Structure 1
Amino acid sequence: MSTVLTEDATTDAPPVPPGIEARDLKRAFGEVRAVDGITFTAPAGAVTALIGPNGSGKTTLLLLLSGLLAADEGTAKIAGYDVATQNLQARSQIGWMPDVFGTWDALTCTEILTTFAHAYRLDRANTSNRVAEMLDLVHLSEFADRPARVLSRGQKQRLGLARALVHDPAVLLLDEPASGLDPRSRVELRHLLRGLAEQGKTVLVSSHVLAELEELYDHAVFLSKGRTVDLAEAAQPAAAGRGWRIEALDPTELRSFLDGAGIPWLPGPGTAEVTVPLAGVESASELIRAAVSAGVSLHTVAPLSGRLEEAYLSLNEERV
């Protein structure tokens, strides 16, 4: 039996705001425009990947969103709160995890999390349970009463994540959260972040490990020279076919061959690599035959690992 909603049955409840909303954010340091008009939204209940090469403005953007750095122009909202005019309300909704999490090495893990719980004015009667829950979540229960100085780099990263979650924030800003983690901990982190998104939280993750983001993200925001690049635009080379990585003994010879044949290419991560959009294995075979006939010595022809990597390599600033 179907139900037809009449006009009277509609709800007047206001729409749920995006977890993160940035509009024309700008921030300069002297002559350097670190963030130069960034606009994007990150919805609640999803993982949004923040991607860009070094110097593209990722960390500065996260600092602006967290309220730790003031924007020169533009607006940023966290869970509907304006970061500039409603700073305390916005920051109360944020779980911030920087790339390097500083610790008070003389304090125990429990003491560190308890200090942050009190700073966020959590109910003191429930603080000890919440702290224990967070330590268990990041598999640090055995270090609860040990000083932070005994923790490894990866363990400190996990403690940083627990610190970001202790007050149950609506929005997570994570800068390289997998840095220093072993393979098993990386897998556990992916499952944890996906679970948090499924609970309705907004998760914004900045990372250079694109293969891991590929298994995690729902949306992607690409940055280039302090500006947002539309995902559809960034992925255009992949639209003509999947990207393939090609390496030759003489990179200059390979690039000259591709230019002469009118085949578009982009430089890869390595100095000897280029990336070429190809329709499939047949197109790859044709290119190999043509290159060999032209005297180009190829030693690697392989498809790229994922969509994010293809899009990343298509950013204009990567072209040399």
Structure 2
Amino acid sequence: MTDENGGIVVEGVARSFGSVQAVRDVDFQAPPGEVTALIGPNGSGKTTLMLILASLLAADKGTVRVAGFDPAAQPSEVRSRVGWMPDTLGVWESLTALEVLKTLGALYGMSEAARTSRAEELLVAVSLTEYGRQPARVLSRGQQQRLSLARALIHDPAVLLLDEPASGLDPGSRVELRSLLRSLAAQGKTVVVSSHVLSELDEIADRAVFVNRGRSVKNQTLDEAGTQTRRYYVRAEPMSALAAALGSYGVSFETRGDSRREEFLIQLGSTAEAAWLLRTLVLGEVVITAFAPAGGALEETYMSLDTDRL
């Protein structure tokens, strides 16, 4: 279990809406000081689960602890410790970005000086300083998304719940988001991120919970993901030399692409095995022009899960 330092524990949680069972049986832990990814297809129950963690929905059964508190029985304790960023945007369009943040700070009971200072600090953190005195309605979707993140952080929460935080962000803003979330985790905060962009989560997360049809189907750390079987794309000049070398090492392959960009798809048991093969090919004077994973570590896990459960 966890304590008030900010961790999350979910055991056997279920939630229905009439005849629709959105969450059937979910178990996972999100420890302080780490980023936990919540991964699953549309309709898998991710958003319902996030709403339960944020104390905005009550579970029908199961146990939930957020920073040591039950969101259903102790919502005020949970809300004072949780920063919630939903996947749908909502701003007070007539207020400036600075006023939006200060208003949220007032709702959390912060003094005028404290909320003003915190708001200015967060505008810098999310790269919105130049828009701080402009009405929120002039912000682009990506800028509104960054303002939504700042709102979730206004009271310096111990737990951060982010539902699709990278939606609408340009590449530069995505990089800044990754850096900010890693920094928050390094400060000891619990960060839970729900996203469809698995390549982004590879760079952010320490662990992942895979959910589908309302159930948690796998829990995995990123270290564990890095030791699993993975697919790699390999190209060489000429490809015939690569084919001969792979055959001599007993490595099977599939040919992908066309004559202009032919490449081989191989499957290897670990990153150590991939490193060995690359070194062996180079030492064998095969001219390798590309050698890279076919997808991220979390994507490999997602694609390898039992299709009957996805």
**TM-score when scaled to structure 2?**
0.77
Match of 1:304 among 286, 294, 307: 294
Match of 1:90 among 78, 88, 93: 78
Q: Residues 248-287 of structure 1 correspond to what in structure 2 (within 5 A)?
A: 277-279=267-269
Distance 1:68 1:15 in 2: 21
1:9-63 CA-partner distances (Å, limit 9, x unpaired): xxxxx96666111111110112221111111110000001110111111111001
Distance 1:236 1:122 in 2: 42
Per-residue deviation, 1:168: 0.2
Report the counterpart of residue 22 of structure 2 in structure 1.
Answer: 34
Per-residue deviation, 1:78: 1.1
Per-residue deviation, 1:230: 2.3
Q: Contact 2:207–2:219 at 8 Å: present in 1 too?
A: no
Q: Residues 159-174 of structure 1 correspond to what in structure 2 (within 5 A)?
A: 159-174=147-162
Distance 1:223 1:117 in 2: 34
Extract unaligned runs of 5+ from structure 1: 1-13, 246-262, 264-274, 282-300
Report the counterpart of residue 278 of structure 2 in structure 1.
Answer: none
- 2:62 paired with 1:74: yes
Q: Contact 1:224–1:317 at 8 Å: present in 2 too?
A: no
Distance 1:155 1:42, change over 3 A: same
Report the counterpart of residue 315 of structure 1 in structure 2.
Answer: 305
Partner letter of residue 306 of structure 2?
N
Per-residue deviation, 1:305: 1.9
Q: Residues 169-180 of structure 1 correspond to what in structure 2 (within 5 A)?
A: 169-180=157-168
Report the counterpart of residue 219 of structure 2 in structure 1.
Answer: 231
Q: Residues 1-320 of structure 1 correspond to what in structure 2 (within 5 A)?
A: 19-231=7-219, 241-243=229-231, 277-279=267-269, 303-317=293-307
Distance 1:197 1:26, change over 3 A: same
Q: Contact 1:174–1:205 at 8 Å: present in 2 too?
A: yes
Distance 2:84 2:226 in 1: 33
Partner letter of residue 72 of structure 2?
A
Per-residue deviation, 1:306: 1.7
Partner letter of residue 218 of structure 1?
D
Partner letter of residue 166 of structure 1?
I
Distance 1:193 1:303, change over 3 A: closer
Extract unaligned runs of 5+ from structure 2: 234-251, 253-264, 275-290
Q: SS at 2:193's partner residue?
A: strand
**TM-score when scaled to structure 1?**
0.74
Q: Contact 2:23–2:215 at 8 Å: present in 1 too?
A: yes
Distance 1:137 1:28 in 2: 38
Distance 1:118 1:237 in 2: 43
Q: Contact 1:21–1:42 at 8 Å: present in 2 too?
A: yes
> How much is the aligned-residue C-alpha RMSD, in angstroms?
3.0
Identity %: 55
Per-residue deviation, 1:316: 2.5
Partner letter of residue 114 of structure 2?
N
Aligned residue pairs: how many?
Answer: 263
Distance 1:131 1:21, change over 3 A: same
Q: SS at 2:137's partner residue?
A: helix
Distance 1:30 1:244, change over 3 A: farther
Distance 2:94 2:308 in 1: 44
Distance 1:138 1:17, change over 3 A: closer
